[in-house]
Amino acid sequence: MTDPLVLSVIVLWVLVLALGLCVIALSRQIGILYERIAPMGALMIDSGPRVGDPAPVVDVSGWSGEALSLGAPSARSRLLFFVSPTCPVCKKLLPIMKSVARREAAWLDIVLSSDGERPEHAEFRQRHALEDFSYVLSQPLGLAHRIAKLPYCVLIDTQGVVRAKGLVNSREQIESLFTAFETRAASVQEHLDHVHAGASALSGTH
């Protein structure tokens, strides 16, 4: 007759092994799900200058009256961040933009762009402490890039070429612009497609 204690130990070990198999299966499913949904890059709207094309050159005045030629070749790359004082997502992203500005200060200038009446923007700048950013009010700039939704970013390199752009709603989507810039892909999704295609090609050779 089997000792009840030995039987209980066997049952416990069977349960432990079953749980271990469940954890492995769940980990595999989580990995597959992550590959399918991440990272989600900035959403490019199919209008305006394409990635790889020269940016439209628009002469504007900064907040203090300084002349800026946005889109022309310059010593530093520029990130145009199109915002509005009435856009709640834009406000959510402002602290992130401040963090990005500090981190990328060696090579990047961030320019906040909008249109409308100056008093409304003066209050917006003060409330969110945006004095360290270049801030322009220019309807022609938005029209040149065909901005239809906000918040929207356009990353322009020192040669005046559009290197990345898209509708941004989160830190991840902002960071995806820099990933696209570094990999010279039109978007982070295009970069992932190339990686997956390369992996498939390698697996097919075995």
Predicted confidence (pLDDT) per residue in 14-60, tens digit:
888 888 887 887 766 665 444 433 445 667 666 789 999 999 999 99
Asked, for residue 80, whether it belongs to a domain, the answer is yes
What domain range is 32 assigned to? 4-38
Q: For 130-184, how does the pLDDT look when each residue is reduced to its tens digit (9 = 90+)? A: 999 999 999 999 999 999 999 999 999 999 999 999 999 999 999 999 999 998 7
User: Given strand 152-156, what is the order of strands in its sheet?
Assistant: 134-137, 108-114, 77-82, 152-156, 162-167
* DSSP reduced 3-state for 42: coil
Asked, for residue 182, whether it belongs to a domain, the answer is yes
Residues with Cβ within 8 Å of 159's Cβ and at least 6 positions away in sequence, in order, are: 73
Nearest to 111 by CA among 86, 130, 88: 130
Task: State the Cα–Cα distance between residues 52 and 34, nearest whole angstrom.
Answer: 29
Q: How many domains is the chain built from?
A: 2
Which of the two residues, 187 and 53, has the higher pLDDT score? Answer: 53
- Given a contact cutoff of 8 angstroms between Cβ atoms, the answer to whether 151 and 168 are in contact is yes
Domain match, 77 and 178 both: yes
Task: State the Cα–Cα distance between residues 36 and 77, nearest whole angstrom.
Answer: 32
Domain match, 136 and 65 both: yes
Asked, for residue 141, whether it belongs to a domain, the answer is yes
Whether the per-residue pLDDT at 117 is higher than 50: the answer is: yes
Domain match, 68 and 24 both: no
Domain match, 97 and 184 both: yes
Domain match, 136 and 187 both: yes
Structure tokens belonging to residue 194: 């190339």
On whether the pTM is more than 0.75, the answer is: no
Arithmetic mean of pLDDT over the chain = 85
